[in-house]
Amino acid sequence: MAIGAAVTRLGREISARHRDGLVIVAVLKGSLLFVSDLMRSFTIQPVVDFLAISRYAPDSGRVRIVKDLDLDISGRDVVLVEDIVDTGLTLGFLLGELGRRSPASLEVCTLLDKRVRRILPAPLAYVGFEVPDVFVLGYGLDFAGRYRNLDMLIAADPVALTADPDIYVDQLYGAHSRGSG
Ligand code: IMP
């Protein structure tokens, strides 16, 4: 996938709609690489803040905020930046949380949209790529903390990863790089 071209396009789209400024809210940790490249592609100057969430269980939609925003977003134009929207449950939680803080506007930008798995409708204003029902790793996306720093996106086998989370490490990082990250 041509990540760079997609990020540049998203940066232009968001900049064109937000000439008067905006707050970028990035969801840690998955959006780490994406938001840093996205920030560099803007032709406007946004402010950025971070939310960190933790999931109680996969696909449960039960999420809690483990690091909240430093900024007050009331009356501000906000773009929430996500790595991937899958079932939409996490996004639904986040939009509820942020919506209660009365932003002037609240849009969502996601690098990846796995819309075949959607449970909750997700209002996505900016989408990098639509992906099929595959497990994706790299460019911020992890399995058990691994593979986030890959400068590419790969489709991985979740069954193999569950059996051995390091299964792709030798292939992707070289033979001497085992260990969690
Ligand atoms: P949702 O609540 O089902 O939409 O899940 C969104 C979250 O699940 C993302 O922010 C990721 O942390 C994780 N996730 C969903 N699909 C993938 C994937 O293919 N690779 C890595 N993480 C994923």
Q: Is the CB of 63 under 6 A from ligand 1?
A: no
CA distance 109 to 10: 8
- Its domain, for residue 113, covers 3-132
Q: How far is CA 179 from CA 82, 99, 162, 163, in A?
A: 26, 39, 15, 15
Give the model's pLDDT for residue 63: 87
Residue 154 has pLDDT above 90, yes or no: yes
Q: Summarize the confidence of residues 97-116 as an average pLDDT.
A: 98
**Same structural domain, 78 and 146:** no
* Residue 67, preceding peptide bond in cis (omega within 30° of 0): no
Of all residues in the chain, the percent with pLDDT exceeding 70 is: 93
How many angstroms separate the alpha carbon of residue 18 from the centre of ligand 1? 27
Q: Is the pTM of this model over 0.85?
A: yes
How many angstroms separate the alpha carbon of residue 156 from the centre of ligand 1? 13
**Same structural domain, 128 and 145:** no
Q: Is the CB of 89 under 6 A from ligand 1?
A: yes
**Same structural domain, 58 and 72:** yes
Task: For ligand 1, atom 9, name the residue with the nearest CA.
Answer: 84
